[in-house]
Amino acid sequence: MHRLLTASRYLILLAVLALFAATITLIIYGTISVGWLILDSATSGILSPKGAKSLLLGFIENADLFLVATALYIMALGLYELFIDDSVPLPPWLQIHTIDDLKDKLVGVIVVVLAVVFLGHAATWHGEIGILFIGGAIAAVIASLALFTGQKKKKEPQK
């Protein structure tokens, strides 16, 4: 039984591979999308404020794709470090030694993704009041994440 439980940690490799495949897919898709945006912009021959806003929104949406890809990559690396091999040479800011390290990194990326989502809404805002509700909802999520990570740090013993 001991051997079976010890070997079962390698099941996490399936999750690592799936997250890594998702990361690659999003990065390739985002790169192609940015290329098409640039090509379309260069070949349309139209320069207008409306066209600039559309281009800006396209780039913001692609930045969001890249941020989600980054979050998936961090999750893949974190799970690999936690369950398989923690000796992977990574920069200190990306080293993950506990599940709390992984959660903290993900919370940071989630906050940035939410900020980019709001920026996308703000860039296409036409004066509707709905942006207040979107901004308020995003602010509530960020505040709860900050409270969650802050409470956890208070409970940890000071070093």
Is the distance from CB of 97 to CB of 86 less than 8 angstroms? yes
Q: Please report the pLDDT score of residue 9 as a whole number.
A: 83
Which residues, including other chains, have CB under 8 Å from residue 59's CB and lie 6 or more apart?
A: 34, 37
Q: Please report the pLDDT score of residue 157 as a whole number.
A: 61
Q: pLDDT in tens for each of the 159 residues of the chain?
A: 878 887 788 899 999 999 999 999 999 999 999 999 999 988 887 788 888 888 888 999 899 899 999 999 999 999 999 999 888 888 888 888 888 888 888 888 889 889 988 988 888 788 888 899 999 999 999 999 888 888 766 666 655
Structure tokens at 2: 């001991």
Q: pTM (2 decimals)?
A: 0.78
Q: Please report the pLDDT score of residue 16 as a whole number.
A: 96
Q: Please report the pLDDT score of residue 79 as a whole number.
A: 93
CA distance 9 to 81: 12
Q: Please report the pLDDT score of residue 57 as a whole number.
A: 87
**Residue range(s) defining the domain that contains residue 29:** 2-155
Q: Please report the pLDDT score of residue 154 as a whole number.
A: 64
CA distance 30 to 69: 9
HSE-up (13 A, CA, CB side) for residue 137: 9
Q: Please report the pLDDT score of residue 159 as a whole number.
A: 53
Is the distance from CB of 13 to CB of 84 less than 8 angstroms? yes
Q: How many domains does the chain have?
A: 1
Structure tokens at 46: 């139209």
Q: Please report the pLDDT score of residue 66 as a whole number.
A: 95
CA distance 147 to 83: 28
DSSP per-residue codes, the chain: -HHHHHHGGGGHHHHHHHHHHHHHHHHHHHHHHHHHHHHHHHHH----HHHHHHHHHHHHHHHHHHHHHHHHHHHHHHHHHHHT-TT----GGG---SHHHHHHHHHHHHHHHHHHHHHHHHHT--S-THHHHHHHHHHHHHHHHHHHHHHHHHHSPP-
Which residues, including other chains, have CB under 8 Å from residue 76's CB and lie 6 or more apart?
A: 15, 16, 19, 20, 23
Q: Please report the pLDDT score of residue 158 as a whole number.
A: 56
